Amino acid sequence: MTGLKSTTHNARDTRRAFLANALRGSAAFCCLGMAGQARAQGLPSDELQRSVWDTTYDALGGDRIQAMVVFDGPRGYYEIPGARGELWAVRYESSTNVPGNATITGRWSLGGVEGTFRFFVSGGAFSGSWQSSGRSGVWNGRFESVLQSGGGTSPASTIRVNFTNGTDLPVRFFLNGGTGLETFLQPSQGSGYAMVVDPGIQPIVRIYQPTGRTRDFTVADGERYVFRVQNGEIINFYE
């Protein structure tokens, strides 16, 4: 899993400031600071599906990355310093043998890289891991709060798009979802991306042209696109 290098996020007050700042502007929240003490016996199913967790995971480079994980039904996201990853296809399975225990599974994406995750919840904490292209790492967390409805701005949604470079040139482009992503595709290369779409914002792909200019094209959820050259410009076509 990718991630930014963590600096000084070990102190408890620093973690809380990061979590509070990251939650502002999304769905309203409560109970920040309850930690796992009030949830030692586990979360009810409906609260588990609207839960917020203070977590750390092992990045590919060996760094320990702090991440705020937010579950909102089948979707969610995780915030790390300076970036935001997406969670989707999230499933929750409560243990029939041990009250308070559950398993959360799903998929994640960050910076054009994606994979799967599996968390084993016991009381107010979980232990788990992430996987991607044969690689994996530890991902552990501790319960922080439950999302509450109302009182906040409309939550962002996530769309998925796919691009293929049908030219004989490397194509650099920018996706405006969330914090934005600038990346490129080599000739004949294709890749899928998850884009965070804030309310009222039209999702676009901005293609950098050989002339130094740019062209913007709107994109829609679930569509597949191919870059082709037309009249000397790189255009985004439906596949």
Mean pLDDT of 129-148: 90
- Give 30 or 123, the one with higher predicted confidence: 123
CATH number of 157-238: 2.60.40.2890
- Give 84 or 7, the one with higher predicted confidence: 84
CATH number of 12-147: 2.40.128
Question: What does the block give as tokens for 62?
Answer: 């060996």
pLDDT of residue 110: 85
Residue length of the chain: 239
Same fold? 12-147, 157-238 = no
DSSP state of 47: H
pLDDT of residue 156: 61
Q: How many CB atoms lie within 10 A of CB 150?
A: 6
User: DSSP readout, 3-35?
Assistant: -PPP-S--SHHHHHHHHHHHHTTSS-EE-TT-T
The C-alpha angle 208, 80, 137, rounded to 5 degrees, equals 100
Asked if residues 66 and 43 have their Cβ atoms less than 8 Å apart, the reply is no
Residue 179 scores a pLDDT above 90: no
DSSP state of 239: -
Extents of the domains making up the chain: 12-147, 157-238
Mean pLDDT of 95-108: 85
194-216 residue pLDDT tens: 887 776 678 899 999 999 999 99
Q: With residue 89 as reference, give the H or E element that holds it.
A: strand 83-94
Closest-CA residue to 31 (of 45, 42, 20, 46): 20
Lowest mean pLDDT among 74-83, 112-121, 205-214: 74-83
